[in-house]
Structure 1
């Protein structure tokens, strides 16, 4: 599984990157044919004074690709919400394929 993590408008510390990698390793338990994962952590400055932290996850599986995006006040919360959404999406798609 090829994992790429990109940060936009900031530099992530190793603690955040380790947490993201640790969670992404768990994706293999939900689908065994994951080819690649891209994570984008974006510091979004929409209102010029309120900074939202956005996490985007793209997962590539043969013949499919999935995308989720969440934003909140911390990168950890944003990534956790996006990760949970991705897990649910993968589970739903896998159940649909087996049915």
Structure 2
């Protein structure tokens, strides 16, 4: 599984990129046919503390799952996004199994 990370309006450090790889890599346990994952990190220029936007898009055969979160840190955004995607992947896998069973 390939993980593409793109940061907008800032340069992501190695520590953050490694964290993303580790967290997103864990999604393979929930769906074995993940083609690739795209992670977009954006910093909004606002006075709010929660100005970090994390978007995670997963490509699986015949479908595309996406989550967008706004948090104080990118680590928090990635973590919440991965939890949400775990549920989506589980539903998608269950749905495809139900279709095959018919």
Please indicate, yes or no, whether the TM-score normalized by the shorter chain is above 0.5. Answer: yes
Q: Which residue of 1 aligns with 2:92?
A: 93
Aligned residue in 2 for 1:62: 61
- Can you give the 5+ residue segments of structure 1 that lack an aligned partner in the other structure? none
Structure 1 counterpart SS, 2:10? coil
State the Cα deviation string for residues 1-52 of structure 1 (Å, max 9, x = none). Answer: 121000011111111111000111111111111111100011112xx32251
> Contact conserved, 2:23 with 2:78, CA < 8 A, in 1?
no
Partners in 2 of 1:66 and 1:39 — Cα distance?
A: 12
What does 1:8-87 correspond to in 2, within 5 Å? 8-45=8-45, 48-50=46-48, 52-87=51-86
Structure 2 residue runs of 5 or longer lacking an equivalent are none
Q: How many angstroms apart in 2 are the aligned matches of 1:35 and 1:96?
A: 18
TM-score, with normalisation over the residues of structure 2?
0.89
Please give the alpha-carbon distance, in whole angstroms, between the structure 2 residues aligned to 1:17 and 1:53: 15
Query: With structure 1 as the length reference, what TM-score do the two structures score?
Result: 0.91
Q: Partners of 2:90 and 2:44 in 1: how far apart?
A: 30
The aligned length equals: 97
Q: Which structure dedicates a bigger proportion of its chain to strand?
A: 1
The question of whether the paired residues in 1 share the 8 Å contact of 2:27 and 2:86 is answered with yes
Cα distance in 2, alignment partners of residues 34 and 96 from structure 1: 16
